[in-house]
Amino acid sequence: MLGLGTRLIFTISTGSGWYLLEGLLGFILFFVLAWVMFYSGQWGGGDSKLLMGLGAVFGLDVGLPGDLQQMSIAFVMNVLIVGAVYGLCWAIILAIKNRKAFVQQLKDISKERKIRFLRKLVQYSFFIFVFIFIVTASSTTFLVPQREWRLAVSALFVMMILLYWVLLLTKAVEKIAMLKHIAPERLTPGDWIAEDVIVKGKRICGPKDLGIDEQQIKTLLKLKQKKLIHTVLIKEGIPFVPSFLLAFIVTLLAQNLVVTLLI
């Protein structure tokens, strides 16, 4: 509201509606990203609201809607990259702090059906990777130069290996450091419930709610008074606000990180 309010003041003082329009467009752009990240379970409500506010402040230049180097678009793309690196670093730190539990959880997760399937997929990909290198040893393939083709295949294989280990890391860290049983009176609106709370066949709350509300908390408190429940399993997320600051600094120094790296 502060961002749009400031732009409204500029619009009134200058007599030009562009300030407000650009703020609204920036708000919409950032709202879409915040909505996707919130409902996919990546960000909390506070992170999403902050991002929407930044969209109104940065705005979207109407004259250059497709310019990837303008502040708002560059910041959005940088947030995705910086946020991913930030989240991965945070997960690694949590794994190191809880290394004994992490190692045990890693062993347990590696036995899960989905993980075993992914591991086999990586193993089969290795043989395909070697086969392609042999076939392209002295020729071009599909009209693509040998060097470029090998680089593309190598990059794909490395990404698959990284995906496998990142998935293991995040799942293990989530179970050892992000899941916690707490009493209903410690709940606050917006907390993520990790598993369904079902009492006498009635579902009270759960992961699909995308954050518990005040009415559900009141219901849980009443159930605890009746000694029908004692604790609730919640999922604590990573605070992504610092990644917004880092992404902003990157935007000031390098503009759009994707474009800069490609050039």
> What pLDDT band is residue 224 in, cutting at 50, 70 and 90?
very high
Instruction: Give me the residue spans of the domains in the chain.
Output: 2-94, 98-178, 183-235
Cβ neighbour number for residue 31 with a 10 Å cutoff: 16
Give CA–CA dist 217/224, Å, rounded: 11
How many DSSP H helices and E strands does the chain contain?
Answer: 10, 5
Centroid of chain to Cα 257: 18
Asked if 175 and 103 count as a contact pair (C-beta separation under 8 A), the reply is no
Distances (CA, A) of 225 to 183, 194, 228, 262: 11, 22, 8, 60
What's the average model confidence in pLDDT over 168-181? 84
Q: Which residue(s) pair with 181 in the sheet?
A: 233
Exposure b/e, 205-240, CB count within 10 A at least 16 = b: bbeeeebbeeebbebbeebbeeeebeebbbeebbeb
Give CA–CA dist 208/192, Å, rounded: 9
Q: What percent of the chain has pLDDT over 90?
A: 8
210 or 165: whose pLDDT is higher? Answer: 165
Strand locations in the chain, DSSP E? 179-182, 192-193, 197-199, 202-205, 232-235
Angle at CA 80, nearest 5°, toward 159 and 168? 40
Which stretch of 37-51, 70-84, 236-250 has the lowest confidence by average pLDDT? 37-51
Place of tokens 């009415």: 215
Indicate the Cα dihedral angle 29, 31, 32, 34, nearest 10°: 120
* Cα–Cα nearest to 93, from 173, 180, 175: 173
Give pLDDT, residue 31: 87
What is this structure's pTM?
0.67
Give CA–CA dist 193/187, Å, rounded: 10
What average pLDDT is seen over the chain? 79
Position 260 pLDDT exceeds 90: no
Centroid of chain to Cα 45: 13
Give pLDDT, residue 112: 82
Give pLDDT, residue 128: 76
Residues 135-161 have pLDDT tens digits of 665 555 444 455 656 666 676 677 777
